[in-house]
A and B are shown apart, each in its own frame.
Chain A
Amino acid sequence: MSYTITSKQLIFTLISCMLGAGILSLPRVTAEAVGQDAWLAVILGGIIPFVSIWLSNKVVSRHPGLSFVALTEMLAGKWAGKILSAVFVIYSIIASAAILRVFTEVITMFLLPKTPILLKIMLGLAVSAYMAGSGIKVLGRLNEFLFYVLIPTLFVSIPSVIKFADIHYLMPVLNNSLGDYSKAALTTGFAYSGFETIIVFAPYVLKKKETLKAAVLALIITALIYLYTVITTVTVFGAELTQMFTWPTLRLLSVTEIPVLERIEFIAIIAWIGVAIRPVSNQYFCAGLIIKDVFGMKSLSKVVILLYPIIAAIAWYPKNIGIAFRLSDFVGMYSLILGTALPLLLLGLSIIRGKGRARDE
């Protein structure tokens, strides 16, 4: 493999896969599930992704130097491997489209209410196609760079938190049934969707030993950002009110008025465009890369151009925001299943076939 990313870039790539449209609605989703224990749901939600990351790393590290397509074809056989790749490609395409659609809904709500949806989708997707077509090296650098530039905008909400937050909104702790918590863990697990791309990105990491550490760190950073978002929103609005807003995270920003700028949430949305375009591009890239490898094509940009109308069409398909949310819930579910079943299956095959470790050492 000619292109590589550093383990540091893997951290940021995984964070950008997970952190996207979900962050704006996360406080609502968690508050609906377990009320004031929303922050607990965020932590619980990280369990399945953690298991998935651990399994994926196990599989990849047993067969170093093999890309995702080569790995599946070696372990599951030529045709079954192609089917597994296809499952992943379909997931990536739908995920990319779903995030893009939710992203476009936010743009419609806050920035461009009158412009046709399709036009906004096409424009956003064109930028993310440009990003996806640049290859893994540039993607790694971009994910890192945009993280540093944009994540600080999360903290514009600090003034309103200091002014209005009431810690009592988080009380009483552990007031729900066990069933509620496990259900909440599942629904917040959706917010982490994107973690399963580690199985595609991990083979390209320069220092193999640091892969797991980097991936777990990525998960922890994402969880901390989610925790921050959920805790600040719930402490300001309370669990009841949080459920009423479509995008509670943005509402939090509109609480404070900063002199000169009438509405601070605009700055956050503009910065957030850069945040949310990354999971779209990363999923887009994954789909493109796998297709390219399956068919043994040379140019990634051609695949990216071919995928463009497909993703645009899927993103355009939902009639309204409700269906768009359902599409993204579907992606979350798909992600959890794919993220655990696929590495588990591959690991099982790898152990049965006895390939890997013994031969490599």
Chain B
Amino acid sequence: MKKYRIAPKEVKPVSTMKFRTKASAGVMNADSADFFDRTAERLRKDLSGNADVIMRELFIGGNENLDALLVYLTGNIDKKLLNDSVIKPLMTCSGLEGIELSGERLKESIIKKCLQTGSVRYSKDYNTTLRDMFSGEGILLVKGIEGFIIFAVDGGKKRQISEPETEKRIRGTKEGFIEDIWVNIGMIREFIKDPMLRVEMFKIGQRSQTDVAIAYINGLADSKIVDEVKKRIKKINIDAILSSGYIEQYIEDNPWSVFPQLMGTEKPDRAAANLLEGKLLIITDRSPFVFAAPAIFVEFFQATEDYYEKFQAGTFSRIIRLIAFLIAVLGTSIYIALTSFHPELIPSELLISFARLRKKVPFPPVIEALIMEFTVEVLREAGIRLPTSVAGTLGIVGGIILGDAAIRSNLVSPAMIVVIAITTVCNFVLPNYSMTLSIRLLKVFLIILSATFGAYGIALGLLVIVIHLTKLESFSVPYLSPYAPSRFRDMKDALLRMPLWMNVKRPVSIPHTDDTRAVNNREKSGTGEN
């Protein structure tokens, strides 16, 4: 896979290290030899406790006057690449006869004649060079050159690109993002080959020095939002970024909200689709979750498949998901409200059978519900931690045996089991995992309200949720748009999914600078406009 590199930054020499920048060309002088020895000594001292740092001494081109020191991390590089393209050519390099053994010419010659790797840079800054070495690059120190040659040989172990567990699809690409940021960026590039796709890099985390990239399409994404995201990312001051979730929690608008305000995805096609709506992506090294900002609420009900299948099927699935969402959030609390506050609402035949089933259960419905919710949540937590083979057994033991035994021992009524089972299944219909986590919290909130105030509590609780959603903004985009504020143009692709050829304009909810997405080729031409 092709590597994408940012241009080397201009490096300033640090004050602790004095470089003699005016190395006189021509003969090998004492200064540069001195630099080599001093720096080698310093490197040995600084890296003395690091067992995985390899320092390899060699003579370039077999010339015993050309001492060189190769430093790299043994675990983070591609050893075959290092041997074949760096060490072997360096030692057998033959193009160095007849040139001066120091200064600019020597550097040029080594870079252009001896090193056979793709990305080679030159830096004079000791500290940044050390950091680059720890990011998996190799550094070469040559007698006669007052600086470091840095070359990319990073490789080592990488996870195979596979289908992500959390976003399984029937149609569309099976690829999912992996941990390596460059591979992920490359995957997005494979979907969008537009040169206007910009990738900017940041290093966040004092100690972790994690690469964080933002990607956007220049001339499509709104520059204000791009600047805002950059500003917020630069403001992060933390020792280490271990997952993209850290970035998410640092830059989201309302950290107290239970709703995800950035859209996380493991799928490159979904990431590309977000880019094409004028959003930007935040890609973090070591994390397969790429975040798109800004995000709006309805997007969490949309799956990429909605677009790949015919629009009728897409719209149908979206409506199913909305209903499932409502059942997941409201199902249990409505059951509690009905049985304990408003039994007159239940049709009489059903009420009789409910009463018969509940007769032996000693608890009020809310306790029943909390017992069952707790059991389901515990089973779910355990299911995530356990190995797949055991998780299956757990499902059977937990789900079937426990449920059956709970009914037989009159701990819960069968109706409650049905309600809990339906709400739990409905919870997983949503295509986004973060949203399913929010639903769990909303569910508990509404259960408590309905247990105390019945339908009134549910209605007020729902209102609070709606008010909260209306208040939320994600990078100055209202979270509940295109419904509040209403933008009718966007409703063609929100809960409904109109045919692709009708969505010729990009959604107005997300600020962008290029409105045309497609041309409607099905419009009748020649017969005049209608």
Measured CB to CB, the residues of A under 8 A from B are 6, 8-9, 107, 111-112, 115, 120, 123-124, 127, 130-131, 134, 138, 140-142, 144-146, 148, 259-263, 266, 269-270, 273-274, 277
Contact = CB atoms under 8 A, between A and B. Distances in A.
- Residue of B347, B459, B467, B486 with highest tally of chain A CB at under 10 A: B467
B84 to A, nearest CB: 62
B345 A124 contact: no
B486 A112 contact: no
Given A138-B471, A148-B483, A277-B460, 9 more contacts: A107-B456, A111-B342, A141-B480, A141-B485, A145-B480, A146-B466, A261-B347, A266-B342, A274-B466
Contacts of A120: 453, 456
A269 B341 CA distance: 15
Contacts of A8: 486
Contact of B486 (A148, A261, A277): A148
B458 A270 contact: yes
Given A111-B341, A262-B344, A273-B456, A144 B484 contact: yes
A127 B480 CA distance: 19
A261 B344 CA distance: 10
Contacts of B466: 142, 145-146, 274
Given A9-B485, A148-B486, A260-B347, A123 B460 contact: yes
A123 B453 CA distance: 9
10 contacts: A111-B342, A112-B341, A112-B453, A127-B460, A138-B467, A141-B484, A145-B466, A148-B486, A273-B459, A274-B459
A145 B463 contact: no
B470 A138 contact: yes
B345 A262 contact: yes
B467 A142 contact: yes
Nearest to A104: B456
Contacts of A141: 470, 478, 480, 484-485
A111 B344 contact: no
Given A9-B485, A148-B486, A260-B347, A111 B454 contact: yes
Interface of B: 341-342, 344-348, 453-460, 462-464, 466-467, 470-471, 478, 480, 483-486
A284 B470 CA distance: 18
A124 B460 contact: yes
B125 to A, nearest CB: 46
Contacts of B464: 127, 130
A148 B483 CA distance: 9
Contacts of A260: 347
Nearest to A120: B456
Contacts of B480: 141, 145
A100 to B, nearest CB: 12
Contacts of B462: 274
A130 B346 CA distance: 33
A145 B459 contact: no
B397 to A, nearest CB: 36
A112 B346 contact: no
A142 B348 contact: no
Nearest to B467: A131
Nearest to A274: B463
Contacts of B341: 111-112
A260 B454 CA distance: 20
Contact of A145 (B345, B455, B460, B486): B486
A16 to B, nearest CB: 13
B334 to A, nearest CB: 10
B263 to A, nearest CB: 21
Contacts of B486: 8, 144-145, 148
Contacts of B484: 141-142, 144-145
A259 B346 CA distance: 11
Nearest to B472: A138
A262 B342 CA distance: 11
A269 B478 CA distance: 29
Contact of A263 (B345, B458, B460, B485): B345
Top 4 nearest A-B pairs by Cβ distance?
A: A145-B484, A273-B459, A141-B484, A270-B459
B470 A111 contact: no
B382 to A, nearest CB: 37
A177 B484 CA distance: 47
A124 B460 CA distance: 7
Contact of A112 (B347, B348, B454, B485): B454
B313 to A, nearest CB: 26
Nearest to A271: B459
Nearest to B469: A145
A144 B456 CA distance: 22
Contacts of A270: 455, 458-459
Contact of B463 (A6, A269, A277): A277
Given A112-B456, A124-B460, A134 B344 contact: no
Contacts of A107: 456
A301 to B, nearest CB: 12
Contacts of A115: 453
A111 B467 contact: no
Contacts of B459: 270, 273-274
Contacts of A277: 460, 463
Contact of A134 (B456, B460, B470): B470
Nearest to B468: A130
- The interface centre, meaning the residue of A107, A141, A263 with most chain B CB atoms within 10 A of its CB, is A141
